[in-house]
Amino acid sequence: MTTSPGYATERETAEGKVFTVTGGDWDTVVEGTDPIADERIIVNMGPQHPSTHGVLRLILELEGETVREARSVIGYLHTGIEKNLEYRNWVQGSTFVTRMDYLAPIFNETAYSLAVEKLLGITDEVTERANTIRVLMMELNRLSSHLVWLATTGMELGAISIMLYGFREREHILDIFETITGLRMNHAYVRPGGVAQDVPDEAIAKIRDFLVMMPKKLQEYEDLLSGQPIWVERTKGVAVLDVTGCLALGITGPVLRSAGLGWDLRKTMPYCGYENYEFDVPTHPDGDVWGRYQVRLAEMRESLKIVEQALDRLKPGPVMVADRKIAWPAQLAIGLDGMGNSLEHVAKIMGQSMESLIHHFKLVTEGFRVPPGQVYVGIESPRGELGVHAVSDGGTRPYRVHYREPSFVNLQAIPALAEGGLIADVIAGGASLDPVMGGCDR
């Protein structure tokens, strides 16, 4: 467009085309611009929390109620956890990574611990009981994470009752976690070499009760939602992403399986003994919000099957590797100051010998050394492939730890899901990805 000397030319910004006018006639300034573009508006959806389990901003270009362009803006929940790991010893890393995807803390810890164990070359030395407990805890965590997804997605699509029910059942799982680890979330329970402490009999009884109660609740959820006309209208054929699109974008987890591809690392690249468990990998052909709903419901049923098998496989034995230069000396108890080492255990350490006391002091303060090298370990989290790239320079602290976080990767699908659809379906599509911004931004 040609302008007279009295006008500045237009410029493109994140919000659209901007004209700086210093005088003259407005029609003259904007002549030649796309007339259809004048009907479009830019809307900020966010920064907000709904449908993202964290703070996300979507910039939407709308033509009426139709989304013509969608852009995601992340980083509002950045914590610098990966960088902080470089200043803590290898065991302390578990306390940091558990806070990334805070709806799946056990998975963050397990992936990290498996990477450290691979660097140490002790993968095969992790005891059977420790691996069984890891599987037990991960599947309970998968259930609690999917319950939050079902509860919050239901709320965002107008099904308020399912939100109350989903969080109600999740409380049972968090109560089990508190009995085992002392905390409802951010446990630092899975550690390099095993787990922090054994599962008490009280927790086993609670899990057995949960296994009896939960299948009935899942059936209630389906009875409540699956035949509900509004729920069906808001999910079927909405935010479709086929298997080709998923593979092009690196999408994994329930979103990929809802497009028909049964890719699950527990089956394709087993870890922690998953190859010894009987379970199916649910898939759905449609690749829409309805398919993701169906897949996650089916996954919860499969997780219940795995938890029951894990309980039956819990044989007596140690929960930490035998090497005392690696095994963290944790005999935990609840005291006046919260959870910490039991006084009896501290007295035992203090009363053994000066050498053992020095060893304990060095292990706790300095940590163990990990041979130089780098590894990648991937596990199947509730949102997809959770991978850890860990690098050691031979010291007592990680040189670098980087997570391949499924929420971060899956969010790339927002434009593919949203563009060409209605603005109301942006929420349904975004929620169906189940992104947790704590993991995305970390």
Give 198-239 pLDDT, tens digit per residue. 999 999 999 999 999 999 999 999 999 998 899 999 999 998
Our count of domains for the chain comes to 2
264 within some domain: yes
Nearest Cα neighbor of 249 from 409, 375, 32 is: 409
Q: Across residues 27-35, what is the average pLDDT?
A: 61
335's tokens: 């005291």
Q: Is the pLDDT of residue 37 over 60?
A: no
> Best-predicted range by mean pLDDT among 37-51, 145-159, 324-338?
145-159
Cα–Cα distance between 389 and 405 in angstroms, integer? 11
Looking at the fold, whether 282 and 423 belong to one and the same domain comes out as yes
Cα–Cα distance between 152 and 386 in angstroms, integer? 22
CATH of residue 247's domain is 1.10.645.10
294 within some domain: yes
Looking at the fold, whether 129 and 1 belong to one and the same domain comes out as no
331 within some domain: no
376 within some domain: no
150 within some domain: yes
Q: How high is the pLDDT of residue 31?
A: 64
Q: How high is the pLDDT of residue 353?
A: 77
Q: Where are the alpha helices (DSSP H) in 242-337?
A: 243-249, 254-257, 265-268, 289-313
Domain enclosing residue 23, as ranges: 1-33
Q: Is the pLDDT of residue 265 over 60?
A: yes
What are the φ/ψ torsions at residue 346 (nearest 5 degrees)? Answer: -60, -45
pLDDT 10s digits, 289-315: 999 999 999 999 999 999 999 999 998
Least confident of 51-60, 237-246, 263-272: 51-60
Q: Is the pLDDT of residue 168 over 80?
A: yes
Q: How high is the pLDDT of residue 35?
A: 55
Q: How confident is the model at residue 3 (pLDDT cuts 50, 70, 90)?
A: very low
Looking at the fold, whether 295 and 185 belong to one and the same domain comes out as yes
Residue-by-residue DSSP string for 232-267: HHHHTTSS---HHHHHHHT--THHHHTTT----HHH
332 within some domain: no
Looking at the fold, whether 24 and 127 belong to one and the same domain comes out as no
